[in-house]
């Protein structure tokens, strides 16, 4: 459709035009180059003085209107959220009204933009609205790019939080005037829910994510913490954790190219300043994004992820402009790098499940820092006027630029030998459901059979004392293992390791993995005994055990000699013997997901 035909005469848009000249100028437009479609479809941000962010209703109305005016845009309801309001997906493509179900078959790379996980950080909402509009109508700038890249936008992910609108929950943030709340309708932080999927939002996101299989995910945020000159920082996939070819490519090629482009357009972008309340010039480690976060979740499927983190103390119009620049530079980079990125993703998916061992935990390498060009402000500790002691103070009249230590290399702290597959007993239906949501290939056992297996015994668990995102997370997990034949039942589910979803399977089902489902309490019932003993009568059984079993008797005596408190604890000694008796329940502290040493020869039916 010809924009001049669609938008009519320039004079008919005068009221819109006058309202948005000031903000357009701040974004790089002038009176002479503001376009008709920018007048017709001016966003609430643009029609204000740049300090007003669009609310949920106006966002959806905007995308509906743009979609009706352009056959490059489709907007679709994609599943429910905890708020009872459906999640929307906007697709932008040179194809007329591209359908969501056809994206996987399209050879073009996919850029996915996720906005308002934290609606109090709305920069991406306003930047994406203008970005989508210009993609739809600015042929001179975007027509060629859209022939090479598909863009997908989730306008507002945390709808419940967006509807909880206020002006005060973001302490000290420099605009906008109103914004949403961090928690969703059930008070979950959605950027901690991707792997555990407690919310309808996360389940709907997983459906969208796997329908798109994006090559690059951009999750828009606002950062707090230290003060510095940079408007834009990013928390991206950690390259060593991403691993294989993609990790090297991200660190050596993709990230430097993207940051270089951002610097050329006026936004010197650096990694997220993870300084933990200390002056950043002393150095800081790269943030390690585990699968609870959007970028960590994306990495399980060989998708590179970037969280944009604009600086909360910078003026809101400047932050929106920086976010918009990041979207523009990302689509440009995908045009040139998309085919290479897609090939590496395919190769890494194959290479992952062909490894003998796979990493499941990482730790920062403090002996191998790089240098980061950092634009900061001089800092000092000054006396607090309201509390005892000192507080950190930044002096904006004293800017500086220096190379600081940046610890962006991580080393593997734990790995596992990859099994032939995993078996999930059918009673653990919540876990099986998560596998289905994430499109894991599964087989159903048709007949009872014995399978060679490795079984984990949980030796130690230490959990948080207070709830974290609805769970008492297990921070410490210690295991032993043994090999034995496992009696699989008809209806149990087998997950072969040789599949594209192998990394997701390993990092959710290996209990010691950093964000495993075990750590998130999906298997906590095995941590509690269901049967006990009465000490007064069990003593008779214990006496017989000690009389007839020399090894147990020796183990008891050794333990008493090694542990003085145990030597005087009658109940502990009886429990020691009970655990070695035939009465001890086999399921207690035994991890129920089984590592298969080989897959059954008989054909199993695919799991729907």
pLDDT in tens, 545-579: 999 999 999 999 999 999 999 999 999 999 999 88
Tell me the per-residue pLDDT of 149-162, one tens digit each, with 9 for 90 and over. Answer: 999 999 999 999 99
Tell me the CB-side half-sphere exposure of residue 107, using CA atoms within 13 A: 5
Helices (H), 312-411: 316-354
The full DSSP string for 582-608 is TTS-TTTTB-SSEEESS--SS--EEP-
pLDDT over threshold 60, residue 32: no
CA angle 358, 363, 365 (to 5 degrees): 115
Helices (H), 355-467: 429-437
Tell me the per-residue pLDDT of 462-471, one tens digit each, with 9 for 90 and over. Answer: 999 999 999 9
> By the 8 A CB rule, do 92 and 72 touch?
yes
Region 353-382 average pLDDT: 97
pLDDT for 568 equals: 96
| Cα(486)–Cα(587) distance, integer angstroms | 13
pLDDT over threshold 60, residue 58: yes
Among candidate residues 326, 329, 330, 320, the one with its CA nearest the CA of residue 126: 320
Place of tokens 């290939």: 441
At residue 208, the 3 state secondary structure works out as helix
**Choice among 35-44, 310-319, 496-505 with the minimum mean pLDDT:** 35-44
pLDDT for 5 equals: 42
Helix (H) or strand (E) holding 567: helix 564-567
Helix (H) or strand (E) holding 137: helix 123-137
Distance, C-alpha 65 to centroid of its chain = 31
- The helix/strand count (H/E) of the chain reads as 20, 20
pLDDT for 236 equals: 97
| Cα(28)–Cα(180) distance, integer angstroms | 27
pLDDT for 4 equals: 38
pLDDT for 22 equals: 56
pLDDT for 586 equals: 87
pLDDT for 537 equals: 92
Q: For the CA atoms of 244, 245, 251, 254, what is the dihedral angle to 10 degrees?
A: -140
pLDDT for 33 equals: 67
Distance, C-alpha 141 to centroid of its chain = 32
pTM above 0.85, yes or no: yes
| Cα(17)–Cα(327) distance, integer angstroms | 25
| Cα(325)–Cα(266) distance, integer angstroms | 9
**pLDDT band for position 12 (cuts 50, 70, 90):** very low
At residue 545, the 3 state secondary structure works out as helix
Bridge partners, residue 111, by sequence: 151, 216
Helix (H) or strand (E) holding 596: strand 594-596
| Cα(95)–Cα(162) distance, integer angstroms | 31
Distance, C-alpha 162 to centroid of its chain = 20
| Cα(162)–Cα(253) distance, integer angstroms | 36
User: Which class for 82: exposed (0-12), middle (13-18), buried (19 or more C-beta within 10 A)?
Assistant: buried
Region 60-74 average pLDDT: 97
Region 228-232 average pLDDT: 98
pLDDT for 308 equals: 98
| Cα(231)–Cα(147) distance, integer angstroms | 31
Region 115-128 average pLDDT: 98
**pLDDT band for position 70 (cuts 50, 70, 90):** very high
pLDDT over threshold 60, residue 81: yes
pLDDT for 7 equals: 46
Among candidate residues 289, 603, 354, the one with its CA nearest the CA of residue 502: 354
Q: Pick the residue with more confidence: 373 or 608?
A: 373
Region 185-209 average pLDDT: 98
| Cα(34)–Cα(20) distance, integer angstroms | 9
**pLDDT band for position 445 (cuts 50, 70, 90):** very high
Region 293-301 average pLDDT: 98
DSSP code for 53? P
pLDDT over threshold 80, residue 255: yes
The full DSSP string for 31-48 is TTT--HHHHHT--HHHHT
Q: Are strands 270-271 and 357-364 parallel, antiparallel or unpaired?
A: unpaired
pLDDT for 532 equals: 87
Among candidate residues 208, 215, 62, 40, the one with its CA nearest the CA of residue 128: 62
CA angle 359, 218, 184 (to 5 degrees): 90
The radius of gyration computed from the CA coordinates of the chain, to the nearest angstrom, equals 28
Tell me the per-residue pLDDT of 385-407, one tens digit each, with 9 for 90 and over. Answer: 999 999 999 999 999 999 999 99
| Cα(526)–Cα(581) distance, integer angstroms | 19
DSSP code for 118? S
**pLDDT band for position 343 (cuts 50, 70, 90):** very high
pLDDT for 3 equals: 42
Report the mean per-residue pLDDT for the chain: 93
pLDDT over threshold 60, residue 6: no
**pLDDT band for position 27 (cuts 50, 70, 90):** low
Region 372-382 average pLDDT: 97
Report all structural domains of the chain as residue ranges with CATH numbers, in order of start: 71-351 (3.40.630.10), 371-411 (no CATH), 418-529+588-606 (no CATH), 535-578 (no CATH)
Region 336-348 average pLDDT: 98
Region 578-590 average pLDDT: 90
> By the 8 A CB rule, do 199 and 288 touch?
no
pLDDT over threshold 70, residue 218: yes
Q: Hey, CA dihedral for 9, 14, 15, 17, is it positive or negative?
A: positive
């Amino acid at each position: 459709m010809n924009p001049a035909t669609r938008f009519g005469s320039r004079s008919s848009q005068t009221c819109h035009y006058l309202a948005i000249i000031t903000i357009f100028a701040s974004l790089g437009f002038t009176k002479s180059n503001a376009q008709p479609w920018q007048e017709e479809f001016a966003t609430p941000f643009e029609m204000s003085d740049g300090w007003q962010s669009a609310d949920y209703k106006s966002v959806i109305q905007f995308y509906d209107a743009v979609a009706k005016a352009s056959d490059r845009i489709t907007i679709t309801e994609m599943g429910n959220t905890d708020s009872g309001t459906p999640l929307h997906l906007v697709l932008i493509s040179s194809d007329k009204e591209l359908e969501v179900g056809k994206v996987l078959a399209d050879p073009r790379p996919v850029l996915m933009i996720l906005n308002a996980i934290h609606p109090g950080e709305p920069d991406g909402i306003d930047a994406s609205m203008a970005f989508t509009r210009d993609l739809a109508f600015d042929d001179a700038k975007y027509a060629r790019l859209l022939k090479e890249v598909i863009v997908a936008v989730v306008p507002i992910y945390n709808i419940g939080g967006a509807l909880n609108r206020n002006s005060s929950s973001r302490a000290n943030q420099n605009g906008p005037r109103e914004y949403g709340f961090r928690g969703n309708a059930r008070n979950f932080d959605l950027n901690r829910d991707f792997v555990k999927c407690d919310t309808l939002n996360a389940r709907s996101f997983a459906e969208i994510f796997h329908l798109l299989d994006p090559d690059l995910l951009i999750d828009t945020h606002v950062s707090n913490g230290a003060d510095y000159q940079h408007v834009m920082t990013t928390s991206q996939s950690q390259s060593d954790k991403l691993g294989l070819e993609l990790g090297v490519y991200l660190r050596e090629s993709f990230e430097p190219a993207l940051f270089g482009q951002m610097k050329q357009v006026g936004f010197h972008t650096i990694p997220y300043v993870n300084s933990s309340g200390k002056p950043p010039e002393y150095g800081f480690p790269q943030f390690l994004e585990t699968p609870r976060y959007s970028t960590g979740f994306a990495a399980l499927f060989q998708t590179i992820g970037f969280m944009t983190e604009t600086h909360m103390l910078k003026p809101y119009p400047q932050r929106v402009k920086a976010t918009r620049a990041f979207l523009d530079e990302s689509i440009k980079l995908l045009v040139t790098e998309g085919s290479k990125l897609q090939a590496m993703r395919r190769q890494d998916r194959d290479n992952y499940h062909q490894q003998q061992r796979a990493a499941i935990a990482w730790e920062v390498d403090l002996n191998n820092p790089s240098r980061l060009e950092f634009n900061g402000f001089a800092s000092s500790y000054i006396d607090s006027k309201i509390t005892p002691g000192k507080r950190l103070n930044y002096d904006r009249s004293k800017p500086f630029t220096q190379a600081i230590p940046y610890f962006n290399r991580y080393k593997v702290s734990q790995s596992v030998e990859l099994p032939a597959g995993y078996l999930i007993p059918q009673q653990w239906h919540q876990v099986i459901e998560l596998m289905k949501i994430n499109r894991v290939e599964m087989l159903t056992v048709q007949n009872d059979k014995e399978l060679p297996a490795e079984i984990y015994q949980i030796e130690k668990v230490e959990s948080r004392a207070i709830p974290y995102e609805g769970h008492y997370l297990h921070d410490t997990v210690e295991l032993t293992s043994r090999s034995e034949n496992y009696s699989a039942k008809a209806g149990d589910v087998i997950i072969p390791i040789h599949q594209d979803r192998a990394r997701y399977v390993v990092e959710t089902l290996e209990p010691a993995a950093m964000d495993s489902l075990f750590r998130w309490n999906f298997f906590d019932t095995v941590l509690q005994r269901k049967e006990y003993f009465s000490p007064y009568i069990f003593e008779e059984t214990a006496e017989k055990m000690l009389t007839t079993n020399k090894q147990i008797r020796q183990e008891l005596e050794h333990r008493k000699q090694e542990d003085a408190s145990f030597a005087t604890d009658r109940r502990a000694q009886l429990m020691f013997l009970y655990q070695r008796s035939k009465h001890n329940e086999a399921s207690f502290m035994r991890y129920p997901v089984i590592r298969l040493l080989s897959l059954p020869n008989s054909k199993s039916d695919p799991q729907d």
